[in-house]
A = this chain, B = another copy of it.
């Protein structure tokens, strides 16, 4: 069990200071207080003093997304969410949901039965039964990477994909690239659809030609690489942006198989900045969506809904992470 001494050790400060932060004492800086509370949540300290919201419970509903270990996409988002929610006095349960649960129990009923006042919903695709519920549900829900129109009880949280694609295209343009290709996961996914549109909008905003033949999308990475990559290379793409890092990694591997050097012959940019991305060959230049920060955005959105402020969308600023997979056009 984690103690105050453990937290003090980890941060290299006194137990008294940790204790002050946990008991919300006034004579400690706000920055230090935040760091201590976030570390306490991260280490699993369970005795956070809860002044308000006593006994109020929220849940993270998760479907089809890895979240159990550090480094998993969902893990970091949930950690960011908890780092805001728990010091604010909320209890956070993480619940993997199934299709059969969605079919048998409406969302509002599930929340009421289990005494949850709101949820962060992750990994649920547009075809899942609860997406239909979210059009009219009354219990606050924040959808990560998904969007439902016109329900004041539902908010969406995501990275700003438009801004991300513009950062990527701006960067390639500054390196002299004009023929920029795009490889994508299947457009049945909300996030891939949004990024696909954002890519073409960024080309237009940068005054670059848009050629539909310079893009391709498939459900499976291997299919995308086999079916579309050769066409992009034939049509003279000198740079390729990929909808997500795993696809970018596969594209780099395949291009190198075909005798192309990265970045000398071809520049590649990914999207997400997964933990693996600094360790691809070469290390991948990518657009980061900061996962703990996304979790915190999820908390801001849920807090607003719980306070009667019907925020519909929160978008996080992305960052361009420069590594070694992009070079000047020869």
Contact = CB atoms under 8 A, between A and B. Distances in A.
Interface in A135-163: 149-152, 160, 163
A194 B44 CA distance: 45
A204 to B, nearest CB: 12
B163 A317 contact: no
Interface string A292-318: 010011001001100101111111110
Interface residues of A, number: 32
Nearest to A34: B307
Nearest to A56: B30
A315 B312 CA distance: 6
A303 to B, nearest CB: 8
Contacts of A30: 52-53
Contact of A163 (B150, B160, B290, B309): B150
Given A297-B304, A304-B300, A26 B53 contact: no
Contacts of A233: none
A166 interface: yes
Give the top 9 A-B pairs by smallest Cβ distance, nearest first: A313-B315, A312-B317, A310-B317, A296-B309, A160-B312, A152-B317, A312-B315, A293-B309, A314-B314
Interface of A: 26, 30, 34, 51-53, 149-152, 160, 163, 166-167, 290, 293, 296-297, 300, 303-304, 307, 309-317, 319
Given A300-B300, A311-B314, A313-B314, 8 more contacts: A26-B52, A150-B163, A163-B312, A290-B310, A296-B307, A297-B311, A312-B316, A312-B317
